[in-house]
């Protein structure tokens, strides 16, 4: 059976400076309004409870933390400033530190930021009349990608926790 | 007035209609847009991986804005607006993080400026330009249109951070639409999310969220849905066909950016507003205006 790990719990609490996670009294306002509840069974109040009990290792290794759609309703409505959103983001950060499985989309976005400075690649689009358009033939200015020094600076930032 | 503009990634790489319509309409309201000489990701996808690095990216945007010498920065994307607002708050409250970020920026010769005031399209037009000025500029009122608005999530939550509109009852986008001569309807699903952020990890669920919301809005018999975020535009307009397939719905529903409507009301040609680029059937809506 899983055992609580209070060291890991402390790690999450450190990342959440200022948020009163322990004050959660399970009113379930967060879960009742959660965008990801119906389709992906995310239950923010359970996440808070599990962190409070010290089951952080299990959560950091679980797929459930990647189902949050970041609509921010949970923390808006939380009467106790427990912010499930921030707890979930802290758990994701911890999962990355531990090299747990991270959805491909996030890895791709971050490597694109490192390569080009932007999280998305520039696309050609097709109009309703099936003509191809891009920034150039739409007469939009060229994208001002960051200068070379950005890459090293971003790498440095990625090394910090 | 002059304002610096940070477009973020999605507008610059695929949501061209939003960019075109902002570039066309703002000068007509006496606003000169000044592009940053350099740009980078606001930090949104990085937030899930490394919060520090995300705050660094957001702070870098504010440092680039500082280079323009202007005090105001327009951020037309909801996600970028949120990530940069939150980074501003973290840097103000947590001096350890703040000092380290300032240090890294310094290595590139960049200076973080905490006093840059950030705006989204909606509060900039509603609060700073003002409804009266917009009404005055309208030359072709959009009479007879009944529309639903979708403010999106991250410009209205969470209030403690200081957001663009009320978290539970956003009205500004509706009021802006009203000034163009069109009517807005309230609907039960108004606060439902477009699902865009799940495109990183759960594509089907993301499309299903978009499709479900569109099915409801379409059923109310309105002429279209008005958005003001490139993510919402992507999900409701660009991906409408995929959303319909995934949600098992029949969708044939016009979705436009607010600035496209504004442009029409100011008398700008459709092509200049990127109205040929919308993937949803906006011709239905356009023919109603010209009729």
Nearest CA among B249, B250, B222, B226 for reference residue B236 = B226
Q: What does residue B83 show for φ and ψ, rounded to 5 degrees?
A: -60, -40
Distance from CA of A64 to the nearest CA of B (A): 11
Per residue in B56-105, pLDDT tens?
999 999 999 999 999 999 999 999 999 999 999 999 999 999 999 999 99
User: Which of 196-255 (B) contact A at CB < 8 A?
Assistant: 197-202, 205-206, 208-209
Identify the structural domains of chain B with CATH numbers, from first to last: 2-119 (1.20.1050.140), 130-290 (3.40.50.11810)
Strand-pair partners of B74 = B5, B119
**Predicted pLDDT at A2:** 81
Residues of chain A with C-beta less than 8 angstroms from the C-beta of B197? 68-71
- Asked if ipTM goes beyond 0.85, one says yes
Averaged pLDDT of chain B: 97
Q: Which residues contact B227 (CB under 8 A, 6 or more apart)?
A: B149, B150, B152, B233, B236, B237, B255, B256, B257, B258
Tell me if B46 and A109 make a contact (CB, 8 A cut-off): yes
**Predicted pLDDT at A22:** 78
Per residue in B152-186, pLDDT tens?
999 999 999 999 999 999 999 999 999 999 999 99
**Predicted pLDDT at B290:** 75
Distance in angstroms (rounded) separating the CA atoms of residues B37 and B70? 13
Determine contact, residues B288/B253, Cβ cutoff 8 Å: no
Distance in angstroms (rounded) separating the CA atoms of residues B103 and B106? 5
Per residue in B11-53, pLDDT tens?
999 999 999 999 999 999 999 999 999 999 999 999 999 999 9
Mean pLDDT over residues A119-140, rounded? 97
Domain boundaries, chain A: 6-97, 104-159
Q: Which residues in B255-278 are b (16+ Cβ under 10 Å) and which e?
A: bbbbbbbbbbbbebebeebbbbbb
**Per-residue pLDDT for A19 more than 80?**
no
Vertex B149: Cα angle to B143 and B150 (nearest 5):
160
User: Which of 111-150 (B) contact A at CB < 8 A?
Assistant: none
User: Which of 43-82 (A) contact B at CB < 8 A?
Assistant: 66-73, 75-76
Per residue in B239-290, pLDDT tens?
999 999 999 999 999 999 999 999 999 999 999 999 999 999 999 999 998 7
Nearest CA among B10, B16, B8, B25 for reference residue B176 = B25
Q: State pTM to two decimals.
A: 0.97
Map tokens 């009404």 to a residue: B135
Mean pLDDT over residues B96-120, rounded? 97
Tokens of A27: 């009113």
Look at residue B96 and give its three-state secondary structure. Answer: helix
Instruction: Give the closest of B10, B158, B274 to A76, CB-based.
Output: B158
- β-pair type (A132-133, A125-126): antiparallel
**How many residue pairs bridge chain A and chain B with CB atoms within 8 Å of each other?**
185
Residues of chain A with C-beta less than 8 angstroms from the C-beta of B108? 147, 149-150, 153
Confidence of residue A1 (pLDDT cuts 50, 70, 90): low
Per residue in A42-56, pLDDT tens?
999 999 999 999 999
Distance from CA of B117 to the nearest CA of A (A): 22
Tell me if A105 and B199 make a contact (CB, 8 A cut-off): yes
- What DSSP line would sit under B181-207, residue for residue? T-EE---TTTT----GGGGGT-HHHHH
Determine contact, residues A161/A97, Cβ cutoff 8 Å: yes
**Per-residue pLDDT for A21 more than 80?**
no
**Per-residue pLDDT for A20 more than 90?**
no
Instruction: Give the closest of B48, B157, B200 to A76, CB-based.
Output: B157
**Per-residue pLDDT for B189 more than 70?**
yes
User: Which of 20-39 (A) contact B at CB < 8 A?
Assistant: 35-36, 39
């Amino acid at each position: 059976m899983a055992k609580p790990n209070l060291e890991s719990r402390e790690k999450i609490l450190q990342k959440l400076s200022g948020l009163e996670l322990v004050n959660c009294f399970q009113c379930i306002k967060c879960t009742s309004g959660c965008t990801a509840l119906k389709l992906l069974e995310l239950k923010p109040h359970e996440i808070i409870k599990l962190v409070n009990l010290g089951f952080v290792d299990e959560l950091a290794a679980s797929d459930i933390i990647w189902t949050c759609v970041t609509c921010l309703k949970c923390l808006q409505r939380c009467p106790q400033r427990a912010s499930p959103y921030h707890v979930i983001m802290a758990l994701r950060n911890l999962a990355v530190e531990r090299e747990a499985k991270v959805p491909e989309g996030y890895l791709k976005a971050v490597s694109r930021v490192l390569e080009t400075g932007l999280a998305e690649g520039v696309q050609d689009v097709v109009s309703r009349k099936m003509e191809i358009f891009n920034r150039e033939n739409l007469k939009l200015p060229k994208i001002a990608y960051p200068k070379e020094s950005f890459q090293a600076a971003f790498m440095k930032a990625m090394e910090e926790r | 007035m002059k304002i610096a503009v940070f477009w973020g990634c999605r507008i610059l790489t695929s949501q061209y209609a939003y960019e075109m319509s902002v570039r066309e309409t703002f000068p007509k309201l006496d606003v000169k847009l000044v592009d940053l000489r350099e740009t980078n990701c606001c930090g949104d996808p990085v937030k899930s991986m490394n919060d520090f690095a995300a705050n660094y990216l957001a702070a870098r945007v504010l440092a680039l804005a500082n280079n323009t010498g202007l005090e105001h920065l327009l951020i037309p994307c909801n996600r970028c607006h949120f990530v940069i607002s939150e980074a501003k708050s973290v840097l103000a409250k947590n001096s350890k993080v703040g000092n380290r970020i300032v240090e890294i920026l310094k290595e590139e010769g960049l200076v973080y400026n905490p006093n840059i005031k950030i705006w989204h399209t909606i509060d900039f037009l509603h609060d700073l330009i003002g409804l009266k000025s917009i009404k005055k500029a309208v030359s072709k009122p959009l009479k007879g249109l009944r529309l639903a608005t979708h403010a999106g999530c991250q410009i209205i939550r969470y209030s403690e951070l200081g957001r663009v509109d009320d978290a539970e009852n956003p009205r500004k986008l509706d009021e802006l639409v009203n000034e163009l001569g069109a009517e807005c309807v309230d609907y039960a699903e108004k606060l439902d999310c477009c699902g865009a952020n799940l495109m990183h990890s759960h594509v089907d669920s993301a499309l299903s969220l978009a499709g479900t919301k569109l099915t409801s809005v379409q059923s109310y018999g309105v002429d279209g849905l008005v958005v003001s975020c490139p993510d919402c535009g992507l999900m409701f307009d660009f991906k409408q066909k995929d959303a319909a397939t995934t949600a098992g719905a029949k969708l044939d529903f016009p979705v436009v950016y607010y600035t496209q409507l504004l442009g029409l009301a100011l008398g700008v040609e459709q092509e200049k507003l990127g109205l040929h680029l919308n993937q949803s059937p906006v011709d239905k809506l356009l023919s109603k205006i010209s009729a």
